[in-house]
Amino acid sequence: MEYYLVKWKGWPDSTNTWEPLQNLKCPLLLQQFFNDKHNYLSQVKKGKAITLKENHRALKPAVAEYIVKKAKQRIALQRWQDELNRRKTHKGMIFVENTVDLEGPPSDFYYINEYKPAPGISLVNEATFGCSCTDCFFEKCCPAEAGVLLAYNKNQQIKIPPGTPIYECNSRCQCGPDCPNRIVQKGTQYSLCIFRTSNGCGWGVKTLVKIKRMSFVMEYVGEVITSEEAERRGQLYDNKGITYLFDLDYESDEFTVDAARYGNVSHFVNHSCDPNLQVFNVFIDNLDTRLPRIALFSTRTINAGEELTFDYQMKGSGDVSSDSIDHSPAKKRARTVCKCGAVTCRGYLN
């Protein structure tokens, strides 16, 4: 007879018991157990002559160890998923999935919903004036006051070219929360999944629902630091092969957003030389042109299950930047190889 070692919820390992199959009333856990066992043996089979039909009196220690680690990982990822959803302030739900390896939640990442200023940096998040429109589509609204066009059409899709700033209605405006010029400030509306990629790119993000073209998907947030501090951190990140620095260079080059430790879902979005997301600079309550908010909009229809990507060298102007590559002999930066697989791949992230 087959027996299964059971860990009882809320009880220490010393109270674990061996149970026959008929005592187990947990079909989902059993299915996960058999799936984990099959996945492990499938991996082993690639390198060794072993059949999946092999019948042992007991599981080999390596198989048992893998199944236990996978179960603990599943619990850890579920707890992390719950924490992310407690912290987020937007409508869209966040899911976490790893069917690739035993990697658990990142140990040094803190979820935030808006910019976190570094010591010494002030973010003024209160507008000094707002519109008094009854219909922001047809009256002289915030964008017109800033000398630009209203960014959205009536389907909430962006209609301005990359490089044009977005001015949304703010807390001083008399229009209500249903105003068509309030899109980015409402946050992510789509359910997204942070998942482990199978191509060696670590974590990635995929959408669980269809996203229409030219739609707001998410905001890029992180710690706001000075450009000097960004240069120092950039050297460290390059040596580790990671890229989380986003220059706020809409008008000047004083500040950078660092999403390495503090960020939202965008922290996990991978680079592609042929991305499906485009960067736009956004101004809402903070009208300081040195500190735009960074919004990511879809460039085309994105189907459910498709990975979300943006070009790490793409600035709000819509141009590809080479500023991060310093060619001087004294400051030669380590270059990170790109794994996006696009036909137009440039070969490097920086």
Enumerate long-range contacts of 135-139, CB under 8 Å, 24 or more apart.
Answer: 136/169, 136/175, 136/179, 136/180, 136/181, 137/180
Parallel, antiparallel or unpaired: strands 270-271 and 309-310: parallel
Cα–Cα distance for residue pair 259/111, rounded to 1 Å: 10
Cα–Cα distance for residue pair 76/106, rounded to 1 Å: 11
Q: Are 2 and 37 in contact (CB under 8 A)?
A: no
CA distances from 59 to 49, 108, 188 (A): 17, 35, 45
345 is annotated as contributing to ligand binding = yes
Q: Are 222 and 244 in contact (CB under 8 A)?
A: yes
Q: What are phi and psi of 20, to 5 degrees?
A: -75, 160
175 is annotated as contributing to ligand binding = yes
Q: Which of 242-266 are b and which e, b meaning 16 or more Cβ less than 10 Å from the residue's Cβ?
A: ebbbbbbbbeeeebbbbbbebbbbb
Determine whether 40 is an active site residue.
Answer: no
Cα–Cα distance for residue pair 224/261, rounded to 1 Å: 12
Determine whether 262 is an active site residue.
Answer: no
193 is annotated as contributing to ligand binding = no
Write down the catalytic residue from 220, 237, 250, 262: 220
The residues near 335 (Cβ < 8 Å, ≥ 6 apart) are: 238, 325, 348, 349, 350
169 is annotated as contributing to ligand binding = yes
26 is annotated as contributing to ligand binding = no
201 is annotated as contributing to ligand binding = no
173 is annotated as contributing to ligand binding = yes
Tokens of 226: 């000075």
Write down the catalytic residue from 66, 115, 152, 312: 312
Cα–Cα distance for residue pair 62/239, rounded to 1 Å: 34
Question: Given the structure tokens 């990142």, which residue do they identify?
Answer: 106
- Residue ranges for the known binding site are 131, 133, 136, 141-142, 169, 173, 175, 179, 273, 338, 340, 345
- Residue ranges for the known binding site for Zn(2+) are 131, 133, 136, 141-142, 169, 173, 175, 179, 273, 338, 340, 345
Report the catalytic residues.
220, 312
